[in-house]
Structure 1
Amino acid sequence: MTGERDDLARAQQRLIAALVTGAPPPDGFDPERLRIQANSLVAKRRSVVARLRPDAAAASGPDLAADFAAYAASRITPPPGYRADADDFAAWLTTHGKLAPPPKPPWWTRFLPHRHR
């Protein structure tokens, strides 16, 4: 029974890798259907990220779909949660010169009690 579970776990890992990272599809799966599903998952992430970080979506402009696809392809796995995905995409845009880095807070704010800034 353990061997079957291990085989199933490996097959699931290959399927997830095909959907998330563009890895080759596991045996028995239609590559075209997996490609369509993977594109759908990236589009869903992109739409949520655009709602959470409209500044990043605006900075990317008409290149949003291509930029987000390149960002998603550069990751081994998506971040844990949409907020982290949105912030990571904004950071990716910043490193690619499409989004200005956030301003540094004034020096004196380090003496304030910790609050969400």
Structure 2
Amino acid sequence: MSRADLARQQAELLQALLADGPAPSGFDASRLRVEANVLRRKHGRVLAYQRPELAEELGERFGPLFAEFSASRPKKATEHSHAYADEFVTWLIEAGHLPKPKRGLVSRLRRRA
């Protein structure tokens, strides 16, 4: 098997696992969905660890809201988790799940750090 073929197959598998792509030839689609859900939950746990104040603010809504977000915007393999967390927060604000931050709050918080 050539490197190009292997790279294509790996890309297809990542697409299926991270972006709801079709199951590549030779893979069971239902098992891939299970694995994809496990990866999404893992990403959610990492995000909750990185942003505990966000997980606390959302409470029991965190899991379902993250699942909704990640279904429409899966994490890319090359994407840093902090950037993904920022996108989740932006999505939450734009969708009305969190209040829009007050002007200057971010800069005040940074000065305290």
Normalising by structure 2, we get a TM-score of 0.80
**Partner SS, residue 66 of structure 2:** helix
- Once the two structures are overlaid, the 10-residue window that deviates more, 36-45 or 81-90, is 81-90
CA RMSD across the alignment: 2.5
- Provide runs of 4+ in structure 1 moved above 4 Å: 114-117
- Structure 1, unpaired ranges of 5+: none
Deviation at 1:76, TM superposition (A): 5.5
1:94–1:100 CA contact under 8 A, matched in 2: yes
Q: Which digits, 9 at most, give the CA deviation of each residue in 1:53-108, with x for residues without a partner?
A: 234324433232221122112226437222112111111110110111222218xx
CA distance change for structure 1 residues 84 and 116 in 2, over 3 Å: closer, same or farther?
farther
- Once the two structures are overlaid, the 10-residue window that deviates more, 34-43 or 68-77, is 68-77
Q: Residue type of the partner of 1:92?
A: W
**Alignment-derived partner of residue 15 in structure 1:** 13
Q: Distance in 2 between matches of 1:100 and 1:54?
A: 17
Q: Which runs of structure 2 are paired with 1:1-117 in the superposition (5 Å)?
A: 4-75=2-73, 77-78=75-76, 80-105=79-104
- Structure 2, unpaired ranges of 5+: none
2:75–2:84 CA contact under 8 A, matched in 1: no
Larger Rg: 1
Normalising by structure 1, we get a TM-score of 0.77
Deviation at 1:115, TM superposition (A): 6.3
- Percent of aligned positions with the same letter in both sequences? 39
Q: Which digits, 9 at most, give the CA deviation of each residue in 1:27-58, with x for residues without a partner?
A: 00111221111111101110111122234324
Q: Distance in 2 between matches of 1:21 and 1:10?
A: 15
